Chain A
Amino acid sequence: MRFKYVHLLVLVMILLSFTASMKSLKINDTFRLLTPQTEFEAGHDITLKFSTNSDSKPDLYLSNSYGSIIIKPVINRSSLSYQLPKSLGNKTGMISWKLLGSTLYGKLNIHPKQEVATMETYLGPPSIETGETDYTMLVVIPTDIHDNPLKDNTQVSVMYQFLANESHDTIYMKNSISYKNIYSKTKTGRMLISSECLNKNSKEYDINILPTIPTDFTITYNRNHEYADGNQITTFSTSIIKDKYDNIVSDGTYVDFFITNASNDILKTSGSTVQGIATAKIIHPDHQDIWEVKAFVKGISESDSISVTYKQSITYFKVAFSEGNKAITVGPLKSFMGQMIPDGLEVKLHILQNNIKIKTFYKDSFTGYATFNLNLDSFPDSTYTFKIETAGIEKTYRNIKL
């Protein structure tokens, strides 16, 4: 019997607890907002207070720029207080709120704290060219301690230093940023830039003002002697290449030298500038020649054309046949002072039969001589014409028996 009572008691208690937890908002619950303020500064404690005539405690929905949350009230007799979390109150922008289960809603506006904590600065591009048309852009976002950009129309000063000049400009924030286009001058160099907002200064930033494109220039050449020995080197140099504002072009500007020789072949050599001067080297021809030389900075500027003449260095050479015409010795090959030509002069031997070229052999000279050793197996017994050619001179020997 007692069991039954316990049972009943438990049942009643369960039922009671149910009704207690089932207590929900009734339609006639009235809430009234007690906090008239809707404009706040970021970082302030914000509490929304409501008066109520019921004992229900509805949650509050809040939504700011980044997301939405729901918070619980703190109850003080006949009022409900909702304290906004710092993470919401610190960020600028509108916060909308809704008291759940009621028709009350509203919005708060959080303003930035007008004190600069950081000057977020973006400067680019980092280098621009001379001439007062190219520019770089400085973007400054002064932010408060809670990482909010300051109000629009906040004044920002931009300071510059370039060569002997120092100057400054005033700009105003718009769209939560401030920016300034900084134009180049006619001189090359490094410009230092900084900014200031509400007595907070940024660090120093710099941009390089680089020369603009090269203008036309002249070229010269330099060589040890004027003979076409196929051994010495001729060096071509440009004048100091400058842009139109008289700035020396950037180091590394690439210059191509095009050489047109007497038979209209084109040779090329190139170099890049150091202090505005580009040099390029090329080996002398091995025979008498006239070169027309012109240099280009590809697609941008060019030099005048110069002419370089090379004199014949070998005027005569001997040819000796031995070992039944199997061995042909060309030489001595003597240069302009009668000295043996430096090693490496190319000697060609053409073998013709009935005026048809059947074979050509190439040899480089060594200590003033070039020797050809023919393999007789590759030539049927017959008579041939030998043509020997070097340094632009040709010698012909007919009816050579092999």
Chain B
Amino acid sequence: MTGLNRNILRIILMLSYVAIIAFVVFGISSLYSYLNTGADRSSILHTEIKKADQYLPKIIWASLNNEGRPMDEQTLNTIENNYLDAWYVKHIAYKTNKTDGINDYYTESARENIFNIIEHNVSENITIEETTLEHHPTLEFFSEDGQLAVITDKDVIEYKRLYKNENIVLETKEKSTYKIILLLEDGYWRIRHIIKKEVSNYSENITTVSHDKIAVKGINYYPQATPWNMFGDAFNADIISKDFKLIKETGLNSIRIFVPYASFGKASVNTEKLMKLIQVLDLAEAQELKVVVTLFDFYGDYSVLDWTLNQRHAETIVTALKDHNALLAWDIKNEPNLDFESRGRQQVVAWLDQMIDLVKSVDEEHPVTIGWSNAKSATMLKDKLDLITFHYYEDLDNLEKTYDSLKLETPEKPLVITEFGISSYKGLWNPFGYSESDQAAYHKKAQHIFNENEISFMSWTLYDFTKIPKEVVGRLPWHKRTQAYFGFINQKGETKPAFKYISKQ
């Protein structure tokens, strides 16, 4: 008994010794690494340019025909920047109920009005998320000494979302006309007076594109080596061209591709990547494939103050592609309904709503859709969309029923299933998964249903992938492995049994 006690004592002593040593080593090492931290050498010279795009509503100046002193481009530019900054700081102030920045862009007597409103909103626990989407300013007057300017800002499109006690109580879109007197003080053009001259409720005139018959037989496409990073440095037109040829040969007529928001440069779209995107459409056209372009991949902010940046992004891409023969449709966002929980349903839907308006205002020809992740969500915004698309990963037995009931709810709009498929992964992380022959049976059955009911479809996806970025399904290996095996062609480049049913039963 004493022997055992002594052994226990020994073990405890030894373990505590190890623990103390480990703790001391950890302490010394963290002290050492702390002493080795410091400023990055490249930051010594302060050479970086700090200006970031924060707020870029569409601004269209009327041609200059002002009274007083003739305006020069540089001053007009400064006025524009300061004027938009004044709106931006006001949006921030009403969102946070703080007054930071207001003093820079409003004169002493003008800022009082904003402070009064903030005071009221603080006492009532009201916050406002707002932005302006369009400005149409006219310079009315510029004083001879260059210190005072009057502008009329026509048809300012304002979106506001008001919260009371953290609940949304109102969403409103207004079209207003303002008269603004600006003074140059301390190098800033500050708002001295702003007077709302006109206001009305605003709703975009939506023209829906009628498409008599869209018989889509397509596939979601990523090159095998660079899934979710199609336009990066490893972009290879030869591979894509070969893939498109293969897709065409299987009897499919269209593809669906994705444009990632951040890596395309957000508000100022990277020209090089845009060229690659156009090249992809050129290659598709060469194979007579139509392309559904899905915008805003990997974007999940939706905040109101981000809208103007999102709009400049979409505007650039849509403008660049809208006349392309290969373009089939615009998919505003892939599976936005999955963000309802984290970002709020109303917030996401409001974002989608304005983005549909924007895309349609640039491209009136091509149908606009949203790639809903399930059929249940697919009726949202259906009146604004030209094409209803959804993804179907549920049991095929219910497909006909789901499709029919959706068809009943949206009788005038064409329907396309833009993603479906199953993973043939069966292994360590998912021992009860489907085999490749299960996958083949699934696609055979799916094609049968599509054929019977004349359903347009786009499958997920051409290839099995080796690398799945964590942004797609997270870090969990069982998710990643499953995601990697949805293809018709395996990682070695051999066709899987399902390949036979890629476009027909």
Of the candidates A67, A72, A92, A176, the one having the most CB atoms from chain B within 10 angstroms of its own CB is A67
Shortest B119–chain A CB gap in Å is: 8
In the bound complex, residues from chain B placing their C-beta under 8 Å from that of A301 are none
Is B198 a contact partner of A94 (Cβ separation < 8 A)? Answer: yes
Is B196 a contact partner of A65 (Cβ separation < 8 A)? Answer: yes
The residue from A85, A96, A107, A139 contacting B120, defined by CB atoms under 8 A apart: A85
Is A94 a contact partner of B181 (Cβ separation < 8 A)? Answer: no
In the bound complex, residues from chain A placing their C-beta under 8 Å from that of B280 are none
Alpha-carbon distance A327/B413, docked complex (angstroms): 119
Alpha-carbon distance A70/B128, docked complex (angstroms): 10
Chain B's interface: helix, strand, loop or mixed, by majority? strand
Interface 1/0 per residue, B53-90 and A, CB below 8 Å: 00000000000000111000000000000000000001
Is A67 a contact partner of B117 (Cβ separation < 8 A)? Answer: yes
The residue from B69, B117, B164 contacting A87, defined by CB atoms under 8 A apart: B117
Is B150 a contact partner of A176 (Cβ separation < 8 A)? Answer: yes
Alpha-carbon distance A141/B180, docked complex (angstroms): 13
Alpha-carbon distance A71/B170, docked complex (angstroms): 13
Is A69 a contact partner of B126 (Cβ separation < 8 A)? Answer: yes
Alpha-carbon distance A105/B179, docked complex (angstroms): 23
Is B128 a contact partner of A68 (Cβ separation < 8 A)? Answer: yes
Shortest B194–chain A CB gap in Å is: 5
Is B117 a contact partner of A96 (Cβ separation < 8 A)? Answer: no
Is B164 a contact partner of A59 (Cβ separation < 8 A)? Answer: yes
In the bound complex, residues from chain B placing their C-beta under 8 Å from that of A176 are 150, 179, 181, 193, 195
User: Is B201 close to A, CB under 8 A?
Assistant: yes
Alpha-carbon distance A124/B10, docked complex (angstroms): 93
Number of A-B contacts defined by CB within 8 Å: 121
User: Is A149 close to B, CB under 8 A?
Assistant: yes
In the bound complex, residues from chain B placing their C-beta under 8 Å from that of A85 are 116, 120
Is B162 a contact partner of A122 (Cβ separation < 8 A)? Answer: no
Interface 1/0 per residue, A368-390 and B, CB below 8 Å: 00000000000000000000000
Interface 1/0 per residue, B196-209 and A, CB below 8 Å: 11110100000000
Is B128 a contact partner of A91 (Cβ separation < 8 A)? Answer: no
Alpha-carbon distance A61/B163, docked complex (angstroms): 11
Shortest B429–chain A CB gap in Å is: 46
The residue from A72, A87, A175 contacting B116, defined by CB atoms under 8 A apart: A87
Shortest B150–chain A CB gap in Å is: 5
Is B148 a contact partner of A139 (Cβ separation < 8 A)? Answer: yes
The residue from B141, B144, B160 contacting A125, defined by CB atoms under 8 A apart: B144
User: Is B349 close to A, CB under 8 A?
Assistant: no
User: Is B174 close to A, CB under 8 A?
Assistant: yes
The residue from B68, B114, B124, B162 contacting A137, defined by CB atoms under 8 A apart: B68
Is A149 a contact partner of B193 (Cβ separation < 8 A)? Answer: yes
Minimum CB distance partner of B178 in chain A: A65
User: Which residues of A from 172 to 189 have beta carbons under 8 Å from B?
Assistant: 175-177, 179, 181
Is B145 a contact partner of A122 (Cβ separation < 8 A)? Answer: yes
Interface 1/0 per residue, A50-84 and B, CB below 8 Å: 00000000010101111111111000000000000
User: Is B4 close to A, CB under 8 A?
Assistant: no
User: Is A303 close to B, CB under 8 A?
Assistant: no
Is A124 a contact partner of B124 (Cβ separation < 8 A)? Answer: no
In the bound complex, residues from chain A placing their C-beta under 8 Å from that of B176 are 94
In the bound complex, residues from chain B placing their C-beta under 8 Å from that of A96 are 174, 199
Alpha-carbon distance A67/B162, docked complex (angstroms): 11
Alpha-carbon distance A67/B196, docked complex (angstroms): 10
In the complex with contacts A70-B126, A135-B144, A175-B150, A63-B169 CB distance below 8 A:
no
Alpha-carbon distance A142/B447, docked complex (angstroms): 77
Minimum CB distance partner of B120 in chain A: A69
Of the candidates B116, B169, B194, B195, the one having the most CB atoms from chain A within 10 angstroms of its own CB is B195
Alpha-carbon distance A87/B109, docked complex (angstroms): 13
User: Is B438 close to A, CB under 8 A?
Assistant: no
In the bound complex, residues from chain A placing their C-beta under 8 Å from that of B201 are 105
Is B117 a contact partner of A69 (Cβ separation < 8 A)? Answer: yes
In the bound complex, residues from chain A placing their C-beta under 8 Å from that of B140 are 175
Chain A's interface: helix, strand, loop or mixed, by majority? strand
In the bound complex, residues from chain B placing their C-beta under 8 Å from that of A122 are 143, 145, 147-148
User: Is A93 close to B, CB under 8 A?
Assistant: yes
Is B160 a contact partner of A94 (Cβ separation < 8 A)? Answer: no
User: Is A226 close to B, CB under 8 A?
Assistant: no
In the complex with contacts A59-B164, A70-B126, A91-B113 CB distance below 8 A:
yes
User: Is A34 close to B, CB under 8 A?
Assistant: no
Is B162 a contact partner of A177 (Cβ separation < 8 A)? Answer: no
In the bound complex, residues from chain B placing their C-beta under 8 Å from that of A98 are 170, 172
Shortest A207–chain B CB gap in Å is: 11
Shortest B75–chain A CB gap in Å is: 15
Shortest A210–chain B CB gap in Å is: 16
Alpha-carbon distance A135/B162, docked complex (angstroms): 50
Shortest A149–chain B CB gap in Å is: 6
The residue from A61, A69, A139 contacting B143, defined by CB atoms under 8 A apart: A139
The residue from B90, B109, B121 contacting A69, defined by CB atoms under 8 A apart: B121
User: Is B419 close to A, CB under 8 A?
Assistant: no
User: Is A306 close to B, CB under 8 A?
Assistant: no
Alpha-carbon distance A367/B139, docked complex (angstroms): 78
User: Is A247 close to B, CB under 8 A?
Assistant: no
Alpha-carbon distance A61/B169, docked complex (angstroms): 9
In the bound complex, residues from chain A placing their C-beta under 8 Å from that of B150 are 175-177
User: Is B130 close to A, CB under 8 A?
Assistant: yes
Shortest A97–chain B CB gap in Å is: 10
Interface 1/0 per residue, B91-110 and A, CB below 8 Å: 00010000000000000011
In the complex with contacts A65-B178, A70-B162, A85-B120, A179-B143 CB distance below 8 A:
yes
In the bound complex, residues from chain B placing their C-beta under 8 Å from that of A177 are 141, 148, 150, 181
User: Is A41 close to B, CB under 8 A?
Assistant: no
Alpha-carbon distance A94/B116, docked complex (angstroms): 18
In the complex with contacts A68-B94, A93-B196, A139-B148, A63-B174 CB distance below 8 A:
yes
Minimum CB distance partner of B140 in chain A: A175
User: Is B152 close to A, CB under 8 A?
Assistant: yes
Is B114 a contact partner of A179 (Cβ separation < 8 A)? Answer: no
In the bound complex, residues from chain B placing their C-beta under 8 Å from that of A147 are 109, 193
In the bound complex, residues from chain A placing their C-beta under 8 Å from that of B116 are 85, 87
Give residues in A with beta carbon < 8 Å to B. Answer: 59, 61, 63-72, 85, 87, 91-96, 98, 100, 105, 107, 122, 124-125, 135-137, 139, 141, 147-149, 175-177, 179, 181
Task: Identify 19 residue pairs between A and B in the complex whose beta-carbon atoms are under 8 Å apart, listed by A's number.
Answer: A63-B160, A63-B174, A66-B113, A66-B117, A67-B94, A67-B113, A68-B128, A68-B130, A68-B160, A69-B124, A69-B126, A70-B164, A87-B120, A94-B196, A124-B143, A125-B145, A149-B193, A176-B179, A177-B181
Q: Which 10 A-B pairs have the closest CB atoms?
A: A124-B145, A137-B144, A87-B116, A93-B196, A67-B117, A66-B113, A65-B196, A93-B195, A94-B196, A175-B140
Other than A69-B120, A137-B144, give 19 A-B pairs with Cβ distance below 8 A. A61-B162, A61-B172, A64-B196, A67-B114, A68-B117, A68-B130, A70-B124, A85-B120, A98-B172, A100-B170, A105-B201, A124-B145, A136-B145, A137-B68, A147-B109, A149-B193, A176-B179, A179-B143, A181-B144
